[in-house]
Structure 1
Amino acid sequence: MKIGLVTDSTAQLSSAEVDRLEQLTGGLFAAVPLTVLVGGVAFADGEISAGQLCEKMTAGDDVSTSMATPTQFAEAYSTLRSRGAEAIIVITMSGDLSGTRDSAVNAAESEDILIDVVDSRSTSAGQAGAVEVAVAGIRQGLDVESIAGTVADWCASETRTVFVPGSLEHLRRGGRIGAAASLLGRALQIVPVLGLNAGVVVPLARVRTRAKALDKIVALSTAAAEELSEHGPKVAVEIQQAEGEIDDADVVSLTERLSELGVDTRFRTLSTIITAHVGPGTIGVSVQTTP
């Protein structure tokens, strides 16, 4: 059976990654874009850079986002079917962070082929990792149910995310603050260290300075790498930043400090959609097993 694969743009896949995924799936891959609105002007995710978006947010421009629609997913399904897909796996960003998963499900209800929608409980690097797990299953010739189950299990147990926002204000405005809302009353006195737990933003630590927050990221990341290495021999660690500046002092610091501890890292810019919710100055690390 030829199985297609669809995800949404918050996985922030590079053009090289998209090309590779299309090759590995025999052309049966698609990424559906979400939309960021800046001053009332709509941009598909990626049409404006994360750095440009941060500049506009810092300048006080009104920024919001719009989920991917059922129509967009239906178009992606149709395209893959025209290329020969007989079934489709869909991996979306956390359903607790966006209605995009519901759009994917609604579009699937009108199709007469099997379409299995998996909530990644994550976004960005975590979601991209889930896509890689799905591709591995497709390449192994597994059936849709087995692949979807493996991806769901991986999302639940084999990826960790820790991050520090520049402030909690953007998460509060967008309603994505989750359990970290308990920190709002003390936001002026603390620097929050946050994570994703089952797709929801949760507080992991409260420290007094940005430097101590980076210390906590290093400690939590190395602990996660050690824990997840028990699941398999390969663990990937990605540093992610809102502005997309790989030479940023915090990015360089995390890279060097993790390297000194024997942890090799990669870099990924957050999508403009995620940047719109977490805000400028956000930096984080994702740790996960790889197939």
Structure 2
Amino acid sequence: MRVGLVTDSTAQLSADEESALREVTGDLFAVVPLAVLVSGVAFADGELEPAHLRQKMNDGAEVSTSMATPAQFSNAYSTLFDHGAEAIITVTMSGELSGTRDSAVAAARNEESLVNVVDSRTTSAGLAGALAIAGAGIGQGHDVGSVAGTVADWCAAETRTAFAPETLEHLRRGGRIGAASSIMGRALQIVPVLGLSAGAVAPLARVRTRAKALDRMVALAGEAAADIASDEQQAYVEIQHADGQPNHPDVITLRDKLEGIGLETTFRTLSAIITAHVGSGTIGITVQTRP
């Protein structure tokens, strides 16, 4: 059976990652973009340079996002079916963070052929990792149900995310934390370390300085790696930064500390969609295994 693979743009796949997924699926791969709105002007995810988005946000421009629509997913499904797909696996960002997953499901209901939608309960590097798992399963010829189940299990057990925003204001505006928490954080000069729990933003630690936040993230990475690694599966850490700067001092500090405890690291720029909600300057880590 020829199986197609669909995802959304918050994975921020590199050219090499996208090429690998196209190869393993026989070019039956599609990315559905979300949109970021800056002062009312819509840009497809990936169109805005991180530095430009940061400047706009720092200048006080109104920045919001728009989820991927059912029509976009329907178009992606139709294109893959027209090119020979007999079934499709769709892996989306967390349904707790966006209605994009619901759009994918709504579009799937209108298809006569099989479309299996997996809520990754994560985004960015975690979503990219889930796609690598899906691609490996498709490449090995496993059936759709088996691949989708493996992806869901991996997302639940073998990926962990933590991040530290420069401010809680953008999360407050988006309704992902309460106003009281935001006010308290500013008043006490608290630097939060947040994560994803069942796909939703959840507090992991509260410290007083950025340096301590980075130290806490390193400790969390070590704990997560010990939890998910095995004799067969090594854990690695993907560092993510909203401003797309692999040589940012925070990124360098975090990388050096992580590698100092024996963890391999890679780097990924956060999607503009994620940056719009967590704010420029946000740094994050995702600890996960590889297929």
TM-score bin (small chain): over 0.9
Aligned to 2:150: 150
**Residue correspondences, number:** 289
In structure 2, how many angstroms separate the alpha carbons of the residues matched to 1:150 and 1:227?
Answer: 18
Correspondence list, 1:44-55, <5 A:
44-55=44-55
In structure 2, how many angstroms separate the alpha carbons of the residues matched to 1:184 and 1:72?
Answer: 35
Distance apart, 1:181 and its partner CA: 6.6
Correspondence list, 1:36-51, <5 A:
36-51=36-51
Distance apart, 1:290 and its partner CA: 1.1
Q: In structure 1, what residue type is equivalent to 2:142?
A: L
**2:46 match: secondary structure:** coil
Aligned to 1:184: 182
Q: Does 1:102 align with 2:99?
A: no
* Cα RMSD after superposing both structures: 1.2
Q: Is the 8 A contact 1:232 1:289 kept in 2?
A: no
**2:264 match: secondary structure:** coil
Gaps (5+ residues) in structure 2? none
Distance apart, 1:99 and its partner CA: 0.3
Aligned to 1:61: 61
Q: Is the 8 A contact 2:235 2:263 kept in 1?
A: no
Correspondence list, 1:28-177, <5 A:
28-177=28-177
**1:129 match: secondary structure:** helix
Q: Is the 8 A contact 1:89 1:115 kept in 2?
A: yes
Q: Deviations over 1:135-179 (max 9, x none)?
A: 1111111111111111111111110001100111101111233xx
In structure 1, how many angstroms separate the alpha carbons of the residues matched to 2:19 and 2:134?
Answer: 16
TM-score of the pair, normalised by structure 2? 0.97
Change (3 A) 1:231 1:165: farther
Q: In structure 1, what residue type is equivalent to 2:184?
A: R
In structure 2, how many angstroms separate the alpha carbons of the residues matched to 1:122 and 1:176?
Answer: 14
**1:112 match: secondary structure:** coil
Off by >6 Å, runs of 4+ in structure 1: none
Distance apart, 1:235 and its partner CA: 1.8
In structure 2, how many angstroms separate the alpha carbons of the residues matched to 1:255 and 1:88?
Answer: 37
In structure 1, how many angstroms separate the alpha carbons of the residues matched to 2:180 and 2:251?
Answer: 28
Gaps (5+ residues) in structure 1? none
**1:187 match: secondary structure:** helix
Q: In structure 1, what residue type is equivalent to 2:181?
A: L
Q: Is the 8 A contact 1:231 1:289 kept in 2?
A: no
Distance apart, 1:97 and its partner CA: 0.4
Aligned to 2:193: 193
Q: In structure 1, what residue type is equivalent to 2:105?
A: V
Q: Is the 8 A contact 1:129 1:290 kept in 2?
A: yes
Q: Is the 8 A contact 2:240 2:269 kept in 1?
A: yes
In structure 2, how many angstroms separate the alpha carbons of the residues matched to 1:184 and 1:50?
Answer: 24
